[in-house]
Amino acid sequence: MAYVDLTLKQFQDQFSTEESCLKAIFEARWPRGFMCPHCEHNDGIRLKSRIRVVECSSCHRQTSITSQTLFHRSHLSLVSWFLAIYLFAKDKGGASATRISKQVGMSYPTAWFVLQRLRIAMQARDEHLTLAGYIELDEAFFGGRTKNPNRKNPPWFDKKTILVMVENEGDHAGNLVMKLVDSPFYEDLAAVVESKVDTETGGQMFRSDGWGSNHVAKIGGSKINMSRIFDQDKELKYLSLAISHAKRFFKGTYHHFCKVHIQRYLDEFCYRWNRRQNFDVLPQKLILASVLHGHVTYASVVAPSLAA
């Protein structure tokens, strides 16, 4: 699929039929031509009676074009799927299920299910993303205002603790990682940090406020400068920027913090942040992510999501 910036009308013209959407899925799934998943023969025939099916010329096994994709077993038309993806991806602030349901013409539960599956596909594309170089690191607390605030309670009381890491590339921010964690304490965060740090390029340098301590820690050969910070907006400027943008993203689009599925919304925010230089072609990238992800069941979507 060619990555080009399309207006809404151009996108609708290009993907106005089930066949045009199937063609895009086919080309994304088999960019070098059809290959049978059963015998790996490289030739097949589209069936006229079943437009989504390709029959292998060698073993004659039939394969659905949408099988092993996010579109598998969906009763929603591919035209509606593609339009929802375009509207969802083209808005920098994201889109709520309420808005998508009205714009595309589907029920709210269907729109919610579609968007949750897209967020899962977004997370999968960044699953193996690791950070390198100079990394700003800290914890943040999401969940809106605390009910019945008490000064004796810790700052994470009645909120979700999020580990935030972002690359500092001098004049701009690099890639971003935000992970839901069970504890705000350094010892409990070390394993999560190690899983998202590039170990092949040598030791990385971290900057953090030290969770109230003043020392230099090490994670996998990387040094963490954990001296106390007096001006976080200056010394951890890109981390502060990411956290403030993420909270505005939650409040501006969804008007609340979803604590049950918060990791998926964070995954969406990070996916957009890490591809902000390619915003114009984000719809096509998200279509590709949907093709490469695989089938997602409703049961797996409604299950409470923790840090992936």
Q: pTM of the full predicted structure? A: 0.88
- Phi and psi angles of residue 55, each rounded to the nearest 5 degrees, phi first: -100, 130
Q: What is the 3-state secondary structure (H, E, C) of 13-68?
A: HHCCCHHHHHHHHHHHHCCCCCCCCCCCCCCEEECCCCCCEEEECCCCCEEECCCC
Three-state DSSP state, 142:
strand
Q: Please give the radius of gyration of the chain, using alpha carbons only, rounded to the nearest integer.
A: 22
Sheet holding 53-56, edge to edge: 44-46, 53-56, 62-64
- Long-range residue pairs from 201-204, CB within 8 A, at least 24 positions apart, any chain: 201/132, 204/131, 204/132, 204/133, 204/134, 204/135
Q: Residue 259, exposed/middle/buried by CB under 10 A (0-12, 13-18, 19+)? A: middle
User: What's the CA gap between 266 and 282, in Å, rounded?
Assistant: 17
Beta carbons of 207 and 235 less than 8 angstroms apart: yes
Neighbours of 74 (CB within 10 A): 18
Beta carbons of 142 and 179 less than 8 angstroms apart: no
pLDDT (0 to 100) of residue 67: 95
Per-residue pLDDT of the chain (308 residues; tens, 9 = 90+): 667 889 999 999 999 999 999 999 999 999 999 999 999 999 999 998 898 999 999 999 999 999 999 999 999 999 999 999 999 999 888 888 999 999 999 999 999 999 999 999 999 999 999 998 888 988 888 876 666 666 667 666 778 889 999 999 988 999 999 999 887 676 677 778 888 888 765 667 777 775 544 344 555 555 565 555 555 667 789 999 999 999 888 887 766 667 778 899 999 999 999 999 999 999 999 999 999 999 999 999 988 654 43
pLDDT (0 to 100) of residue 214: 39
pLDDT (0 to 100) of residue 307: 42
Helix ranges (DSSP H) in the chain: 8-14, 18-29, 78-90, 97-104, 108-125, 186-195, 232-235, 237-249, 262-274, 282-293, 298-302
User: What's the CA gap between 250 and 256, in Å, rounded?
Assistant: 6
pLDDT (0 to 100) of residue 229: 59
pLDDT (0 to 100) of residue 215: 40
pLDDT (0 to 100) of residue 213: 41
Beta carbons of 52 and 115 less than 8 angstroms apart: no
- Phi and psi angles of residue 180, each rounded to the nearest 5 degrees, phi first: -70, 130
